Amino acid sequence: MTVSIVDYGLGNLGSVSNMLRRIGAEVRTVDTPEGVLESDRVLLPGIGAFDEGMRRLHDKDLVDPLREFAASGRPLFGICLGMQLLLDSSEEGEARGLGLIPGGSARFDDSSGIRVPHMGWSSADPTREDALVAGLPEDRRFYFVHSYRVIPDDAAAILATTDYGVEFASMVRSGSVMGAQFHPEKSHTFGMTIMRNFAQL
């Protein structure tokens, strides 16, 4: 049960590593193409802006290895910005994303009076049964901090939804590639369940 966390300078590696260790996972940090490609499962964290995230992945020559890793069928999990980087593009910038799940990200519309960014605790409601969301209780709540919402081209990629003025995809999954918009490492036992499920895939 080994999880490799991608270190490209924009992730909350300490908190993510600590939660994974609490659920009994062996944790590695990887920042080279070889490190990614030799992994059993990869977690792509992220805090910040879309273009900066992609720039840093390119600077470390990690873009093609992440695509190759995903093509191998091994589990790849993006959280927060990491989930948005899985897609093709974002309204936040001009860079091309990893392109592992077709779609893009759009900014929340604050004209209806909602506050942007979406910050705080919200539910995430699974759209189907899946090993990544198994065992979540009815009162599940997760911690969000984001201004952009993911819009997959294919609704079948949506694994869970959250309502914040509009219903949006708070989790996605397409094959072995999956993402969560919230911060599992800040979401107490609910996030721990998600992390344990991922580590056991």
Q: For the segment 88-130, what is each residue's pLDDT rounded down to a tens digit? A: 999 999 999 999 999 999 999 988 789 999 999 999 999 999 9
In this predicted model, what pLDDT tens digit does every residue of 57-86 receive, in sequence order? 999 999 999 999 999 999 999 999 999 999
Collapsing DSSP to helix, strand or coil, 4 comes out as: strand
Domain CATH for 146: 3.40.50.880
CB 76 within 8 A of CB 176: yes
pTM: 0.96
pLDDT of residue 76: 98
Instruction: Mark whether 118 is an active-site residue.
Output: no
- Tell me the C-alpha distance between 55 and 37, whole Å: 20
Domain around 18: 2-199
Alpha-carbon span 67 to 65, nearest angstrom: 5
Choosing from 38, 58, 183, 188, the catalytic residue is: 183
188 is catalytic: no
Annotated active-site residue in 94, 138, 185, 188: 185
Backbone angles phi, psi at 123, to 5 degrees: -75, 160
The closest of 109, 79, 110, 84 to 95, measured between CA atoms, is 84
The question of whether 185 is a catalytic residue gets the answer yes
How many structural domains does the chain have?
Answer: 1
Q: Which of 80, 92, 118, 146 is catalytic?
A: 80
